[in-house]
Amino acid sequence: MKRLSFIARVSTAVLSACLVWSSPLMAQELIRIGAPLPITGPLSPEAKKLQNGINLWVEAVNKVGGIKVGAKRMKVEVVYVDYQSNTPRAVQATERLITQDKVDFMFSPFGSGAAKAASSVSEKYQMPTIAATASSEQVYDQGYKYLFGVYTPNQTLTEPLADLVAKQASGVQRVAILARNDLFPLAIAQEMEKSAKKRGMNVTYFEKYAIGTLDHASALSQIKSQSPHWIFATGYINDLILIKKQMADQGIEAPVVTMIAGPAYKEFVSGLGKGAENVTSAAWWHPAVRYQGKDVFGSTENFNKLFREKYGLDPDYGEASSAASGVVLQLAIEAAGTLDRQKVRDALAAMNTVTFFGPIKFGPTGQVISLDPPVFQVQKGKQVVILPTAIKQGNLQLGVK
């Protein structure tokens, strides 16, 4: 039987996985992975990034004949389902993929909130699941055994940021925080509050905004009245572009402006132009990192090269982490030598290796504990790494005082 090449199937109907049913023999020739993503709705830009990374990994794996399972190789097929940026539908899609579409393994929905909601389904069916974009510890503190995430906890971003600002901008004392009321954005804002207070800074403003908010004028007016030295805003790409534009409308500036998680994306810089200048951020990966991996990509440089050849742009951390999720699952399957879910789960728990994404070792909760996330700043239209020292490309630049 000729092995099948990768087929990416996308459905806009949440409860339909849009599958072309395979014969039993075909099913044995493929490893099928379910991927519920917000392909439509406000989180669609993030979904596109995850698809870019996953598709690149599938292409690389199938080019060498597939994943080695014992003495044979099996090609990979990813079944995408659109949950329309709606978390309850993400849970429904996960259940459908496991129980009706009979996928072998799962990738989590986008973000901490949806990943946490869907993790109960993976646990119920003892389905090894890799989360590409879930960093909040609340996702992993449920005592579950089948969820593994490739992002370190949120404080691994806020701690180096706060330390850098405290050391290089001693005049920064007043901090204003504006957070999207969603699991990851709110959780990392709370970690930022802890990190700032730990260094003697005064958090003078901390407010949440509802998902889907289009007018931040009132909150920003209150922030402006505080004359903060550091403005810290959280949300996703569309949220943060909007907030930064509305800051400009009100003439709001500060020596330090930090946003998570938009500035790592090329769309943030292109959407704001000069308005993106000097915005700081942090992420779990940057194309400037350099690792020699034991995976299908072999090195960070090769991953970057293949990504540029396919998409014409440098990858960002979301695209890299989704590819890394495939790499991690592949390495676990190959270590287990079988598709047996329990054995693959055990191989994930025992993993201690280096990939193009960085060193991968999971802690007892299933969250990776081995990465050193970069801190960067938009300077002259580019994301310039300012920490860690090993890959430093520039220094912190302060805005207007």
Region 155-283+374-391: CATH code: 3.40.50.2300
Distance of CA 36 to the CA centre of its chain: 14
Distance separating alpha carbons of residues 49 and 258, to the nearest angstrom: 22
251 burial type by CB count under 10 A (0-12 exposed, 13-18 middle, 19+ buried): exposed
Cα(192)–Cα(325) distance, integer angstroms: 27
Instruction: Output the pLDDT for position 319.
Output: 97
Across the chain, mean pLDDT equals 92
What's the pLDDT tens digit per position in 6-23?
A: 333 433 333 333 333 333
- Is residue 26 pLDDT above 60, yes or no? no
Token digits of residue 164:
């850098």
Comparing C-alpha atoms, which of 229, 233, 382, 366 is closest to residue 316? 382
- Higher-confidence residue of 138 and 1: namely 138
Give the residue with greater pLDDT, 171 vs 27.
171
Strands (E), 136-290: 147-149, 174-180, 202-209, 230-234, 256-260, 279-282
CATH no., domain 24-152+287-361 = 3.40.50.2300
| Neighbour count for residue 71 (Cβ, 10 Å) | 6
Decide whether 24-152+287-361 matches 155-283+374-391 in CATH topology. Answer: yes
Q: Cβ contacts of residue 365 below 8 Å, gap of 6+?
A: 137, 140, 141
Degrees, nearest 5: CA angle 102-105-109: 100
Q: What share of the chain in percent tops pLDDT 90?
A: 90
Calculate what percentage of the chain has a pLDDT beyond 70.
93
Residue 8 Cα distances to 18, 97, 149, angstroms: 10, 14, 23
DSSP label at residue 78: E
Residue 401 has a pLDDT of: 55
Provide the residue ranges of all domains of the chain, joining segments of one domain with +.
24-152+287-361, 155-283+374-391
Q: Is 130 buried (19+), middle (13-18) or exposed (0-12) by CB count in 10 A?
A: buried
Tell me the pTM: 0.86
Q: How far is CA 230 from the centre of its chain?
A: 25
**In terms of C-beta density within 10 A (0-12 exposed, 13-18 middle, 19 or more buried), how is residue 226 classed?**
middle
- Please give the C-alpha separations between residue 162 and each of 227, 232, 281, 388, in angstroms, as whole numbers: 19, 11, 11, 13
Q: Summarize pLDDT for 240-267 with one digit per residue, the tens.
A: 999 999 999 999 999 999 999 889 888 9
Does an H or E element contain 387, and which? strand 382-387
